[in-house]
Amino acid sequence: MLGCSSPHYACPEVIKGEKYDGRCADMWSCGVILFALLVGALPFDDDNLRQLLEKVKRGIFHMPHFIPPDCQNLLRGMIEVEPEKRLSLEQIQKHPWFLGGKNEPEPEQPIPRKVTIRRIQSVSELDPDVLDSMHSLGCFRDKNKLKQELQNEGENQEKMIYYLLLDHKERYPSCEDEDLPPRNDVGEIWGKTFFKHFIKTRKQSSGADDC
């Protein structure tokens, strides 16, 4: 499912080498992705691979207080160690947080614009905040390799993600700006919009089967 090839996104049954249902495994990974979108960090992380795998097996993670209760409920249902208790794709789409939106501000609808991807001449041109954000997602653990890819002449997924994050940062420069919602609110709105699109894409590609 994921191009990251990272144990950070793998479910416990995969880590243990047990027989597993790919659809249930996907729902765990989707939960990790949603957590990363909302928090800016992974629920399970450790520099030591063995310790990381043990954390995934236990399935115990810290839930930040700023995540709304209904979203916490969804995350715990997706990042559930026992596959038979884990939420299915259909259950996720019927969850109150997924369906919600009546009492929250509408996502910004800017005039569509193309994010320009240009060549980066040197490491000094790279935005450290954006690099940290990419690193925290788990897909780009090797910072040196990431910097090399960003300086390549051609277009690649690293540059695409980098410039999308940079564009988002430039449009929401500071949570101190009174004209903008608090950063956590912006993150939830953006995260929910992206996650809904992601889940719908998963439904189309998987044939809408339950786990």
Q: What range does the domain containing 20 cover? A: 7-100
In a domain, 192, yes or no: no
Q: Is 5 exposed, middle or buried (0-12, 13-18, 19+ CB in 10 A)?
A: exposed
Asked whether residue 19 falls in the same domain as residue 96, the answer is yes
Residue 184 lies in a domain: no
User: How much is the average pLDDT of 44-67?
Assistant: 91
Return d(Cα 68, Cα 38) in angstroms, integer: 10
**For residue 91, is pLDDT > 90?**
yes
Task: Kindly state whether residue 42 falls inside one of the protein's structural domains.
Answer: yes
Residue at a domain's end among 42, 67, 100: 100
Q: How far is CA 208 from CA 27, 76, 100, 135, 177, in A?
A: 12, 22, 21, 32, 42
Establish if 129 belongs to a structural domain.
Answer: yes
57/116 same-domain check = no
Q: Could you tell me if residue 95 is inside a domain?
A: yes
Q: Which of 66-70, 112-116, 151-155 has the highest mean pLDDT?
A: 66-70
CA angle 52, 160, 182 (to 5 degrees): 70
Assigned domain for 199 exists: no
pLDDT single digits (tens) 139-192: 677 888 989 999 988 888 888 888 888 877 776 554 434 443 444 454 555 566
Q: Are residues 88 and 16 in the same domain?
A: yes
Number of domains in the chain: 2
Q: How far is CA 115 from CA 74, 103, 137, in A?
A: 32, 31, 21
Full-model pTM: 0.58
How far is it, in rounded angstroms, from Cα 192 to Cα 188? Answer: 6
Residues 12 and 65 in one domain: yes
- State whether 18 and 96 are in the same domain: yes
> Is 73 in the same domain as 143?
no
188 in a structural domain = no
Query: CA nearest 187: which of 202, 197, 172?
Result: 172
pLDDT band at 135 (very low <50, low <70, confident <90, very high): confident
Residue type, 113: R
Any domain includes 53? yes
Say which residue, 11 or 46, is predicted with more confidence. 11
Who contacts 59 (Cβ-Cβ below 8 Å, separation ≥6)?
Answer: 12, 79, 80, 81
Q: Output the CA torsion 17→19→24→27 (10° steps).
A: 10
DSSP states along 174-200: -TT-TTS--HHHHHHHHHHHHHHHHHH
54 in the same domain as 135: no
Model confidence at 102, pLDDT cuts 50, 70, 90, reads very low
